[in-house]
Amino acid sequence: MTGPPDAEQDWLGDYDPRAFPPFGVTVDMVLLTVREDRFSVLMVERDTHPFRGFGALPGGFVQEGEDLDAAAVRRLEQETGIRRDAAYVEQLGAFGDPHRDPRMRVVSVAYLVFAPDLPAPLPAAGARSVSWVPVDDVDGDRLAFDHARVLAAGVERARAKLEYTPLAAAFCDDAFTVGELRKVYEAVWGVPLDPRNFHRKVTGTPGFLVPVGKPAPVGPEGGRPAALYRRGPATLLHPAMLRPVTRPVTREQSQGVSRG
Amino acid sequence: MTGPPDAEQDWLGDYDPRAFPPFGVTVDMVLLTVREDRFSVLMVERDTHPFRGFGALPGGFVQEGEDLDAAAVRRLEQETGIRRDAAYVEQLGAFGDPHRDPRMRVVSVAYLVFAPDLPAPLPAAGARSVSWVPVDDVDGDRLAFDHARVLAAGVERARAKLEYTPLAAAFCDDAFTVGELRKVYEAVWGVPLDPRNFHRKVTGTPGFLVPVGKPAPVGPEGGRPAALYRRGPATLLHPAMLRPVTRPVTREQSQGVSRG
DNA sequence: TCTCCTTATCGTCCGCTCGACGCTAACAGG
DNA sequence: CCTGTTAGCGTCGAGCGGACGATAAGGAGA
């Protein structure tokens, strides 16, 4: 297709600062964990304009010469103290509504992080407080920018990921029991699972769990001591572990822009 | 976590152009179709610096005040003439390696498009040629920027999407036969499928296909005429249609940044 | 010690899905 | 009529998962 009015500025041969508008680029983190059997997200309360007093996802500008993934990992380590090898990090997507930030044109690259239970970190600059909030308790209307959409995308992606990957273990400590892993699934999906079928599934899937020599820890509310496991080498669950609720034939589709 | 040297510039209260580096933001399109039973991608040959003579994905800068999705759809319509409701579009992810474009700092937001078979469009500005290339014939070392990575991500995402969504129909015309739909799966996955089991699966999944009144078209190489269908309202396949190859326990993970 | 409660782990039954594959239906061409 | 092709239906058996019984192994309290 030739020559719509703006086509000349595509793929300019040489850098011409007048040919493209400058954007700010930020990373925002959807940092998820399971705390006290509740699926929770790390939220900050903003102390600066805009959206002062609103909840927000932690994040910040990408620096010059800094890779997007590196910026996300840097933020993760700075704001939570989580080492990058103690959590699972993947990109969630880019959010670039022209009016998502009233100050200027900003594209946010959101990252999804699965972390084991950790104490809430200290507030960073520009934030009044930092805390873990159960995702069901978050009021989307009280979030800054488009963070309600970002959070919703992250939560849905996390729920889907548990179905076909062994990433639930990223919410657990290094060694964990089958029961602890089941509580992760129950918290994230919000449904009870049959302990016996769950046990059969996860222990019967090759590469999901590797038994750790230690025979038995203690139980907080009694019961027979459970065996300890670590994450196995598998990166996919095959076949998947499906959420027990019968989904209707039609459901929201992740990030589809146009007709499905 | 308090006070690393750069923390002060996070979430500035007011616009301060010195506080963040300016980025160019582009959209790149991984435009996929099935042509002559081959899974193909729309590639342009660059005619301008940098990467003159290299293959590239179609794309261009996002304009001021333009939403990312809107920029992608605009590119789609401009470069291919595809109307947005004739194809499936979803965001693939952001690619922001600091050196991906030698001219300047650019973050590319990649989009994945499933389109029915169409004639190759005319070259746009800055491109020497535009053509559909079977994805297996693309030489990743001859692609501009990081488009080899972008393309690989798009292809893998497309293959996975066919497993758990009915999006294969987005590669077909408005009305199509079960055999045509099967050829889409076979081309995308690169494996033959049993026609009888495939027929049972797709016709037995509620909401996948809706029969169209017209009783029968003609067959190009003979055979019994097939019934025509359109896309149904389903957006998920449940249970999924799994690729017949036995995947090994460990496989590449989409966009994971760190340990799982 | 015995009872009861809790959780862990193993086993059984049954329905559903899928892969493999046989069979018939409905066209075209010679 | 015969053959070749694709479409569509049926059958069988293995495997997986949901429902759920049974046993194991701990702690708390009578």
> If DSSP states are collapsed to H, E and C, what string results for chain B?
CCCCCCHHHCCCCCCCCCCCCCEEEEEEEEEEEEECCEEEEEEEEECCCCCCCCEECCEEECCCCCCHHHHHHHHHHHHHCCCHHHCEEEEEEEECCCCCCCCCCEEEEEEEEECCCCCCCCCCCCEEEEEEEEHHHCCHHHECCCHHHHHHHHHHHHHHHHHHCCHHHHHCCCCECHHHHHHHHHHHHCCCCCHHHHHHHHHHCCCCEEECCCCCCCCECECCCCCCEEECCCCCCCCCCCCCCCCCCCCCCCCECCCC
Are residue B142 and residue B36 in the same domain, yes or no? yes
pTM of the predicted structure, to 2 decimals:
0.90
Dump pLDDT digits (tens) for B216-259.
677 778 899 999 999 999 999 999 999 986 443 333 333 456 44
CB within 8 Å: A11 and B256: no
Are residue B137 and residue B95 in the same domain, yes or no? yes
Quote the CA–CA distance of A193 and A244 in Å, as a whole number: 8
B48, part of any domain: yes
A145, part of any domain: yes
Q: Look at residue A66 in the predicted model and tell me its pLDDT.
A: 96
The gap between the terminal CA atoms of chain B, to the nearest Å, is: 24
The nucleotide minimizing the C1' distance to residue B228's CA is D7
- Is A206 strand, coil or helix? coil
Are residue B169 and residue B156 in the same domain, yes or no? no
Quote the CA–CA distance of B181 and B185 in Å, as a whole number: 7
Mean of per-residue pLDDT scores for chain A: 87
Residue B195 has pLDDT above 70, yes or no: yes
Q: Look at residue B20 in the predicted model and tell me its pLDDT.
A: 80
Residue A198 has pLDDT above 70, yes or no: yes
B241, part of any domain: no
- Which of A246-250, B99-103, B108-112 is predicted least confidently? A246-250
Residue A197 forms contact with B (CB below 8 Å): no
Q: Look at residue A254 in the predicted model and tell me its pLDDT.
A: 38
Are residue B148 and residue B33 in the same domain, yes or no? yes
- Give the closest residue to A164 by CA, choosing from A201, A113, A199: A201
B249, part of any domain: no
- Give the closest residue to A92 by CA, choosing from A157, A168, A136, A26: A157
Q: Look at residue A257 in the predicted model and tell me its pLDDT.
A: 60
Q: Look at residue A253 in the predicted model and tell me its pLDDT.
A: 38
CATH code of the domain containing A171: 1.10.10.10
A6, part of any domain: no
Are residue A40 and residue A123 in the same domain, yes or no? yes
Dump pLDDT digits (tens) for A37-56.
999 999 999 998 899 999 99
Owning domain of residue A192: 165-231
More confident call, A156 vs B128: A156
Within a 10 A sphere around the Cβ of A187, how many other Cβ atoms? 21
Report residue A260's pLDDT band, with 50, 70 and 90 as the boundaries. Answer: very low
Are residue A137 and residue A181 in the same domain, yes or no? no
Q: Look at residue B79 in the predicted model and tell me its pLDDT.
A: 83
Report residue A8's pLDDT band, with 50, 70 and 90 as the boundaries. Answer: very low
Contact A28, A69 (CB under 8 A): no
Residue of A96, A122, A170 lying closest to B2 (CB–CB): A122
Residue % of chain A over a pLDDT of 90: 71
Are residue B196 and residue B76 in the same domain, yes or no? no
Per the structure, the count of domains in chain A is 2
Residue B91 forms contact with A (CB below 8 Å): yes
- Is A74 strand, coil or helix? helix
Are residue B37 and residue B72 in the same domain, yes or no? yes
CATH code of the domain containing B137: 3.90.79.10
Which of 139-158 (A) contact B at CB < 8 A? none
CB within 8 Å: B21 and A166: no
Q: Look at residue B99 in the predicted model and tell me its pLDDT.
A: 96
Dump pLDDT digits (tens) for B7-29.
334 444 444 545 688 999 999 99
More confident call, B127 vs B129: B129
Are residue B190 and residue B99 in the same domain, yes or no? no
Q: Look at residue B228 in the predicted model and tell me its pLDDT.
A: 96
Q: Look at residue B245 in the predicted model and tell me its pLDDT.
A: 62
Q: Look at residue A147 in the predicted model and tell me its pLDDT.
A: 98
A237, part of any domain: no
Residue B260 has pLDDT above 50, yes or no: no
Dump pLDDT digits (tens) for A63-95.
999 999 999 999 999 888 888 899 999 999 999
CB within 8 Å: A88 and B62: no
Quote the CA–CA distance of B54 and A167 in Å, as a whole number: 38
A17, part of any domain: no
A79, part of any domain: yes
Are residue B39 and residue B136 in the same domain, yes or no? yes
Are residue A75 and residue A178 in the same domain, yes or no? no
The nucleotide minimizing the C1' distance to residue A225's CA is D26
More confident call, A12 vs A68: A68
Q: Look at residue A37 in the predicted model and tell me its pLDDT.
A: 96
Q: Look at residue B221 in the predicted model and tell me its pLDDT.
A: 80
A164 DSSP assignment? H
Q: Look at residue B216 in the predicted model and tell me its pLDDT.
A: 66
Are residue A90 and residue A109 in the same domain, yes or no? yes
In degrees rounded to 5, what are phi and psi of residue B204?
-90, -5
- Give the closest residue to A85 by CA, choosing from B256, B184, B118: B256
Compute the average pLDDT of residues B101-130.
88
Indicate the residue type of A196.
R
Considering A155, A181, A203, which residue would you say is the last residue of a domain?
A: A155
Q: Look at residue A18 in the predicted model and tell me its pLDDT.
A: 54
- Is A24 strand, coil or helix? strand
Strand ranges for chain A from DSSP E = 24-35, 38-46, 55-56, 59-61, 88-95, 106-114, 127-134, 209-211, 229-231
